[in-house]
Structure 1
C-alpha cells in the first residue's frame, strides 16, 4: 500500500522566503515553494531560486497532491503537477513517485489527462535522434525506439503553472513543441521539446482511476460543486459544472457556449449560438448500455451535439446527425451517435490502427474498410464537454467498418488542425437505445425516423426493388401516354405521315430507349450523402 512517505525525505528552506521545502525523492531536481511560488533547483544540499511559477488556476481535476494509489503492484504518491496550456485549452500532468525498497531506487512517472481519460507514462532513454518537430504532422508515421508510431498531435504549449516536486526544473519562460504519438499496441508516447537539445521521451498506456485504487482524491461534495458555480458572461445565469473534467458548458438560459477551462475566478469567454433541436434523450438521463457488446454499464447523458457534413460537390447531399456525450465515473466518456443510417456507440482509443491497404486499416486483428471521408461541422451543442467547444468547429473525418455476418463494428478518425483522434464502437438498434434509457415505447418510432443503414443488404435490396418497380411503371405510363396522344394522328393520317411522326417526336418516347441514366433508383441517390 502506498504511504505518504515513500522513502526518507530531504528538507531545506526556501532561499527566497525561508519557508520549509521538502523533497520525497533524492532523484527529484526541482520543486515549487508552496509559500512564495519560487521555482527552486536542487544542487546537492542547497537550493537555488531559478524563477517564479504563476498561480495555479482552480480546475476540476479529481487529483491533488498527496493522493495515493497502486499501479502494476507498486504503490505511488502524487507529489507534483504541471499545468499546461495551448491555443485550444490545457491539461494537467501529475508527477507520481513510486515506493522504493532495498532492491530498487525510487521511480517516478506521469499520470496525465488524455481525451477525458488518464494515461500512466514513464520517461525512457531515446535510442534514436529525436526528429525535428517541424517535420512531424498529425497522421504521419514515425519510427522511434524501434517501433512505428502515428503522430496524434503537434502543438506549441506553455507551462502555465507548477506545484510540488518535479523531476526536471520547469521551463516557464517560453513556449515549446509537444508531440503525442500512438501505436497499434495501444500505447501513447510524448516528445517534450522544452529542452530542444535533449527532448524528453515518455511512453505509457491508458488507465482508469478506479483500477489505480486511488485514495485522497479531491472530494466532490455538494459544497464543492456549488463553489464551482460561475456566471454566464452573456446573461448572468448561474452555471454549475457537474463533471470534474468539464472544459465547456452551455448556458441553460441563453444557450451560450462558455469556456470554463481556466477554472473558477478566471475571465470567461463565450459565444452565442442559434437554437437547434431538442435531444430525443434528455440531458441527465441515465441508462445501462454495453459499449462493445459485453456487460451493460450505467451511462449518463451529459452533452448533446448536432453536426453536419460539408459537401465537396454541389451534387452531393448534405447529411445531419446528432451525438450524445455519455459519462461513467469509472469508464470515462463515450459517444452515442444518431444518424440517417441508425445508431452507434463509440469511444476514443489510446492507440492507433495500422494502415493495411489503400482503403483499409487494422486494429486488434480486425481489418476495417474505409467507407467515407468528409468534413464535419458542429452546428449546435447543449450540456457539458471535456474539451473546449469552438464555434463552427470542423474536423476531417474518416469512417471505417468491419463486418462479420450481422455484426458491425466501427472505427473513426477525426482530425482537427494538428490533432487526430481515433474512436471505436459498434452499431446499436433503436430498440436497444429505447430500452437502455427507459424511453417511452411510443418514442421508438421517432428513434427510427431515419432510413436504416444504407450498407444493410436487405434494406438496399428493398430500395432498389422499389426503384425498379417505379421505373417500370413510369416506362409503361409514358408508353401509354405516347400511344394515346398519337393514335388519332395514326388513324387519320397513317403511320408514315408527317403529322404522326411529329407527334412521336414531341412525345419524347425516343428517350425511353436511349439508355440515359441519372444515377438514382426511385429517388434513392447512389452517390453522395448518407455517410455519417
Structure 2
C-alpha cells in the first residue's frame, strides 16, 4: 500500500518492494522499480521535522545519486507554507535549495570551474561541473525518477554561504536553477531525537589489505573511497562495504612526520590524521616536493595540514564564492588582500591512508597560491572541479605539541610563501619607540629653549682700513670687556659686506680672570656673475657657530681678519660680530634625530631583505 501525504508529491516509492508509483489524475500507475537506499553517514531521515527561518518543514522524500565516486544524499522537504525545497549534504555541510525555475540562455559547455557567473542579480563562482544518476529512492518525490538517465549539473557558490545548482538533465535543455544557502546541522532546526544515529561500517573498521592481509583499521570508514595500504603500497577501492585491489603504489621513502591515526587539536577541534600524500611541482626543470596530511573530524569534516621544507600550513576549505579573485594577480577574502605568489601544476606522487575521493598517483591539479602572511588562499583546479582553501602558517612547535609528536620536527629550509616576516614586529616596535623618543626629544628641546637666557652680551661692527695686511696687528680688534653671569654656551654670528670676495675671522674669547682662551674661526665668501645660463651666485655673507659652555667671568673678544690682498682695494673691510650667551643649540637635536632614525632604518632593511628573499622564489610575473 502506498500513500500520498505530501501535497506537492507526484511520485511515491513503495517501502516494501521499491516500486515507483505515480499518480495520474485520480488513478495510479507503476513506473518500475528503483534501488533501495544504501545506509550512509547522513543524520537525516524521512519524516524528520525541522524549522527554517521560523517556518516548519518535513522531510518527505529521499534520493541517492552517484557519479561513480560514491553516492550522495538529497532530501525533498515540504514547508508548512506550501513551499518545497531540497536538502543535500557534502562533507558535513548541508545545502537547502529552492526551485527558481528554468534559466534560459545558459549552456553547459560555457560553464567551467573557477569562472565567474552572473545569474539572478548575483555573482557566483563555479566550483564543480559533473553528472550523476539516481540509483536509489524512498518516500514521496515531486517528479518521476529514471535510474537510467545520466543528468548533468553545475554547482556554484556566492558570498555569505549562497549556493546555486543548475540542473541540465541530459544536457539537451536549459537548466533548472536551484538557489539556497549552506547550513550547519544545528541550523536545520531538527530536534536531536529525530536525527538518525550514525551508521558505522563496522566491517571496514578492522579491514585487511586484500594483497598482504595487513590490518588497515580505517578511521573514517563511512567517508572513505580509497585506502592506500601502509605495508605493501596497495591502493584499494572502498565499495559496498568491502575493499577491492586497484594497483600497487610506490611507498614513501620515510614514514610520515604525523603517523596515521594520530589525534591532535587544532583550531578548537580534535582531528585524526587519516591520509598522507606526497605531491610535487616542477618549475624550470627543478622538482619541488611537499607533504599533505588529511585530517578528519566527525562534525567538521575534512581539512589539511601541509609540510613544505619544514614549514607547516593549516588549510581549511572555504566556498569559492567567499573569495574574489583577479587570476594571477590577487585574491580578496574578508577584507584582506592576498598577492599571487605562484602558479604550478601539482602532481600526486605517493599515497598512504584513507581518502574521501578516488585518489590515485599521477593525478594533477592547477594550483595557485595567494599570500598575505601568515595567511594564504590556495586554489586547486581540474577540468571538472575547483576547490579553495584558506591557509594559516603554523610554527613547527605548534604542530608538534598539537599532535604530541616525540620525534624532532623536520628543520625549516628557506622562506615559505606565507611565513610571517619575523622582522615586522621589530619594525613596528622600532617605529613606535622612535616616535615616543622623538616626541620626548621635541619636549626636551622645547623646555631647553624656553629656559635658555638667550642673552646678547656683545654686538659690534669692526672696520679694517684699506691697505691693512691680513693677520697683522692692524687687522686685529679688541672688544670692550663684557660679563658672563653664569656658565653657558655661546653662539657666535658673523656678517660681512662682501661682493665677489671672502673674509676669514679668527676669534678668541679671553677670560680676563684666568687668561683662558676659547677660539673659533668663521670664513665667509660670496661670489656672483653671469654666464650663458643667466645670473648665478654662491656662498653667503653671514655665518654662525656654537662654542662649548664657558664658565662665568669677565671676557674680551679678540678678532683677526684674513682676506685677499688687493692693491686697488679702496674701501675698508667691514664685518659685524654678535655674541649670544646661553643660546638654544639645534645641533644636538639634529644629531639625536639622526641616531633615533637609525633604529627604523635598520629594521626596515631587515624586513625588506626578508621579503626580497621570500619573493625571489615566486614564479609569478616572470
Q: TM-score, normalised by structure 2?
A: 0.62
Pairwise mapping of residues 276-287 of structure 1 onto structure 2 (< 5 A)? Answer: 276=252, 277-287=254-264
2:375 maps to which of 400, 406, 409:
409
Gaps of 5+ in 2: 425-612
Q: Is structure 2 residue 124 aligned with structure 1 residue 155?
A: no
Pair 128,193 (structure 1): closer, same or farther in 2 beyond 3 Å:
closer
The answer to whether the 8 Å contact 1:205/1:350 transfers is no
Q: Which residue of 1 aligns with 2:297?
A: 328
Deviations along 1:280-311, one digit per CA (max 9) or x if unpaired, are: 11222222212xxxxx22222222221111x2
2:398 maps to which of 426, 432, 435:
432
1:301 maps to which of 273, 280, 301:
273
The answer to whether the 8 Å contact 2:272/2:295 transfers is yes
Q: Is structure 2 residue 89 aligned with structure 1 residue 109?
A: no
State which structure, 1 or 2, has the greater radius of gyration over its C-alpha atoms: 2
Q: Distance in 1 between matches of 2:180 and 2:9?
A: 20
Q: Is structure 2 residue 155 aligned with structure 1 residue 180?
A: yes
Q: Is structure 2 residue 19 aligned with structure 1 residue 50?
A: no
Point out the more displaced range, 201-210 or 299-308: 201-210
Deviations along 1:140-172, one digit per CA (max 9) or x if unpaired, are: 222211112222121232222222222222232
2:179 maps to which of 199, 203, 208:
203
Q: TM-score, normalised by structure 1?
A: 0.72
2:336 maps to which of 366, 369, 375:
366
The answer to whether the 8 Å contact 1:186/1:349 transfers is no
Q: Which residue of 1 aligns with 2:537?
A: none
Q: Is structure 2 residue 409 aligned with structure 1 residue 446?
A: yes
Q: Distance in 2 between matches of 1:278 and 1:341?
A: 15
What is the deviation of 1:373?
A: 0.6
Pair 259,49 (structure 1): closer, same or farther in 2 beyond 3 Å:
same
Q: Which residue of 2 aligns with 1:93?
A: 73
Q: Distance in 1 between matches of 2:217 and 2:45?
A: 21
**3-state SS of 2:100 partner:** coil
**3-state SS of 1:345 partner:** strand
**3-state SS of 1:131 partner:** coil
What is the deviation of 1:375?
A: 0.8
Q: Is structure 2 residue 233 aligned with structure 1 residue 255?
A: yes
Point out the more displaced range, 270-279 or 121-130: 121-130
**3-state SS of 2:397 partner:** helix
**3-state SS of 1:390 partner:** coil
What is the deviation of 1:341?
A: 6.4
Q: Distance in 2 between matches of 1:221 and 1:97?
A: 22
Pairwise mapping of residues 384-399 of structure 1 onto structure 2 (< 5 A)? Answer: 384-399=354-369
Deviations along 1:93-120, one digit per CA (max 9) or x if unpaired, are: 32142552xxx22x33322233x23232
Q: Which residue of 2 aligns with 1:468?
A: none
Q: Distance in 2 between matches of 1:370 and 1:338?
A: 20
The answer to whether the 8 Å contact 1:83/1:90 transfers is no
Q: Which residue of 2 aligns with 1:346?
A: 315
Q: Which residue of 2 aligns with 1:503?
A: none
**3-state SS of 1:435 partner:** helix
Q: Which residue of 1 aligns with 2:284?
A: 313
Q: Distance in 2 between matches of 1:303 and 1:371?
A: 27
What is the deviation of 1:67?
A: 4.7
Q: Which residue of 2 aligns with 1:381?
A: 351
The answer to whether the 8 Å contact 1:341/1:451 transfers is no
Q: Distance in 1 between matches of 2:233 and 2:3?
A: 47
Pair 452,197 (structure 1): closer, same or farther in 2 beyond 3 Å:
closer
The answer to whether the 8 Å contact 2:60/2:78 transfers is no
Pairwise mapping of residues 21-60 of structure 1 onto structure 2 (< 5 A)? Answer: 21-60=2-41
Q: Distance in 2 between matches of 1:450 and 1:527?
A: 13
Q: Distance in 2 between matches of 1:238 and 1:48?
A: 51
Q: Distance in 2 between matches of 1:205 and 1:278?
A: 41
Q: Distance in 2 between matches of 1:181 and 1:279?
A: 35
Q: Distance in 1 between matches of 2:196 and 2:314?
A: 30
What is the deviation of 1:383?
A: 2.1
Pair 144,529 (structure 1): closer, same or farther in 2 beyond 3 Å:
closer
What is the deviation of 1:273?
A: 0.9
Q: Which residue of 2 aligns with 1:487?
A: none
Deviations along 1:464-523, one digit per CA (max 9) or x if unpaired, are: xxxxxxxxxxxxxxxxxxxxxxxxxxxxxxxxxxxxxxxxxxxxxxxxxxxxxxxxxxx9
The answer to whether the 8 Å contact 2:113/2:385 transfers is yes
Q: Which residue of 2 aligns with 1:418?
A: 384
Q: Distance in 2 between matches of 1:356 and 1:268?
A: 43
Which is strand-richer, 1 or 2? 2
**3-state SS of 2:409 partner:** helix
Q: 1 or 2 for the larger relative contact order (CA 8 Å, sep ≥6)?
A: 1
Q: Which residue of 1 aligns with 2:306?
A: 337
Q: Distance in 1 between matches of 2:219 and 2:76?
A: 27
What is the deviation of 1:395?
A: 0.9
Q: Distance in 1 between matches of 2:300 and 2:420?
A: 34
Pair 380,424 (structure 1): closer, same or farther in 2 beyond 3 Å:
same
What is the deviation of 1:420?
A: 0.6
Deviations along 1:170-196, one digit per CA (max 9) or x if unpaired, are: 232221211111223332211112274
Q: Is structure 2 residue 51 aligned with structure 1 residue 82?
A: no
1:189 maps to which of 149, 164, 182:
164
**3-state SS of 1:281 partner:** coil
Q: Distance in 2 between matches of 1:345 and 1:263?
A: 33
CA root-mean-square deviation: 3.2
Pair 430,358 (structure 1): closer, same or farther in 2 beyond 3 Å:
closer
